[in-house]
């Protein structure tokens, strides 16, 4: 596939614990399950996929920067960085790629601090509270834009 037919999947801090972390909130699907769901949805839309998960903000930012060279868009679940990271926002806006912000749980029905997102006003797509299937929804919506 050509470089511009690739999406970057970014999963932030603690998402490596999916499947065991608070299953009442996040369900039983693992990060590997999420990556498979996204890869399948991307392939169905004609896209290749590169995936990264890190608990380190700088690693995520470096991956986002690199995406400007060979990706058409980004699907990101920033985890807790959603509510704290101006740097992540700046990286996403700086590369100029459309991106989808994904949250497994309904962050608006949770603690007050989770109601705010540094990405909400710059994301091309937002998918919130649809479980891990929301990732596939995000891919389809993003693919329609790119």
Does the annotation list 104 as a binding residue? Answer: yes
Note if 118 is an active site residue.
no
- Domain spanning 3-145, CATH class: alpha beta
> Using H for helix, E for strand and C for coil, what is the string for 35-79?
HHHHHHHHHHCCCEEEEEECCCHHHHHHHHHHHHHHCCEEEEECH
Q: What is the pTM of this model?
A: 0.94
Q: Where are the domains of the chain?
A: 3-145
pLDDT number for residue 81: 96
Does the annotation list 56 as a binding residue? Answer: no
Note if 135 is an active site residue.
no
Catalytic residue among 56, 65, 103, 118: 103
Q: Report mean pLDDT in 10-residue bins for the chain, 146 residues.
A: 78 97 92 98 98 98 98 97 97 98 92 90 97 98 96
pLDDT number for residue 3: 46
CA torsion sign for 107, 118, 12, 128 is positive
DSSP SS3 for 69: helix
């Amino acid at each position: 596939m050509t470089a511009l037919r690739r999406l970057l999947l970014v999963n932030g801090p603690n998402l490596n614990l999916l499947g065991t972390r608070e299953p009442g909130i996040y369900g039983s699907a693992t990060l590997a399950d999420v990556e498979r769901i996204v890869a399948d949805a991307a392939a169905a839309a004609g896209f290749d996929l590169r995936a990264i998960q890190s608990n380190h903000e700088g690693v995520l930012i470096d991956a986002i920067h690199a995406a400007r060279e060979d990706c058409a868009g980004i699907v990101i679940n920033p985890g807790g960085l959603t509510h704290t990271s101006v740097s992540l926002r700046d990286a996403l806006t700086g590369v100029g790629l459309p991106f989808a912000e994904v949250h497994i749980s309904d962050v608006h029905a949770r603690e007050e601090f989770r109601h705010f997102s540094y990405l909400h006003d710059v994301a091309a797509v937002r998918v919130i509270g649809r479980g891990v299937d929301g990732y596939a929804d995000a891919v389809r919506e993003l693919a329609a834009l790119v």
